[in-house]
């Protein structure tokens, strides 16, 4: 049925969005995904680009990132974007690159990041629930218009609930993994 494949696709988009959003939440380890989506205002404020579109970002050991801009004139703009970000990182400009040392997280910071991740995850769970409810309404409408039988209605609702449960469980696995990464020292 078309409703089910659309529901699955929509839920998959929610999962992908969650994975992307969680990349920007700090863990104790240096990772390019921590900064690659930072928005940088550059070229006199006329252009807004993601950091990954302006530079090469590589890890230098477990606690440092090296950012090498493609265009050296953007180095101050990149530094400014990092300082304005909520990451709390201090960039070190070294001639043609920026070095970011990722300090170890304090217990308080870890708890704050876990809370941020939990809020994000709860929002995604709500999105899945809303998608499920919308599909269930459309199944109910279809039944009321006599387009589907009662047996078909119950079968579809059960299938939608099962799919919803699977995606919610997947979100829980992602949550547990991210929490473990944040807690890791």
- Residues 13 and 39 occupy one common structural domain: no
- Residue 8 exposed, middle or buried by CB count within 10 Å (0-12, 13-18, 19+): middle
User: 122-143: string of b/e by CB count within 10 Å (b at 16+)?
Assistant: eebbebbeebbeebbebbeebb
- Residues 58 and 16 occupy one common structural domain: no
> How many structural domains comprise the chain?
2
Pairing status of strand 55-59 against strand 64-69: antiparallel
Query: Which tokens in the block code for residue 175?
Result: 């949550």
Residue 121 belongs to domain with CATH number: 1.10.132.20
Q: How confident is the model at residue 15 (pLDDT cuts 50, 70, 90)?
A: very high
For 55-114, write each residue's pLDDT tens digit: 999 988 878 899 999 988 889 999 999 888 877 788 999 889 999 988 887 888 888 889
> Looking at 101, 120, 150, which one is the last position of a domain?
101
Predicted local distance difference test score (pLDDT) of residue 104? 80
Which residues make Cβ contacts (< 8 Å) with residue 44, sequence separation at least 6?
none
Predicted local distance difference test score (pLDDT) of residue 185? 67
SS3 state at 28: coil
- Residues 127 and 176 occupy one common structural domain: yes
Cα 20 to Cα 128: distance, rounded to the nearest angstrom: 17
Domain span at 112: 2-23+106-183
Predicted local distance difference test score (pLDDT) of residue 133? 95
- Number of helical H runs and strand E runs in the chain: 5, 6
> Looking at 75, 101, 127, which one is the last position of a domain?
101
> Looking at 101, 127, 144, which one is the last position of a domain?
101
Task: Work out the end-to-end distance of the chain between its first and last CA atoms, rounded to an integer number of angstroms.
Answer: 47
For 156-177, write each residue's pLDDT tens digit: 999 999 999 999 999 999 999 9
Cα 1 to Cα 5: distance, rounded to the nearest angstrom: 7
CA nearest to 6, candidates 106, 135, 105: 135
Cα 171 to Cα 173: distance, rounded to the nearest angstrom: 5
- Residues 97 and 111 occupy one common structural domain: no
């Amino acid at each position: 049925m078309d409703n089910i494949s659309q529901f699955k696709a929509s839920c998959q988009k929610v999962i992908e969005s969650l994975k992307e959003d969680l990349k920007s939440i700090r863990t104790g380890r240096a990772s390019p995904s921590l900064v690659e989506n930072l928005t940088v205002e550059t070229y006199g404020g006329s252009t807004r680009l993601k950091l990954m579109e302006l530079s090469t970002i590589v890890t230098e050991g477990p606690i440092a990132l090296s950012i090498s801009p493609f265009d050296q004139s953007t180095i101050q703009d990149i530094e400014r974007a990092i300082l304005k970000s909520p990451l709390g990182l201090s960039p070190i400009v070294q001639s043609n690159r920026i070095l970011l040392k990722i300090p170890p997280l304090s217990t308080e910071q870890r708890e704050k990041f876990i809370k941020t991740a939990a809020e994000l995850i709860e929002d995604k769970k709500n999105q899945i629930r809303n998608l499920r409810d919308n599909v269930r309404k459309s199944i109910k409408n279809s039944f009321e218009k006599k387009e589907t039988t009662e047996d078909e209605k119950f079968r579809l609702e059960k299938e939608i609930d099962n799919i919803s449960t699977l995606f919610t469980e997947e979100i829980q696995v992602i949550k547990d993994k991210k929490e473990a990464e944040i807690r890791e020292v």
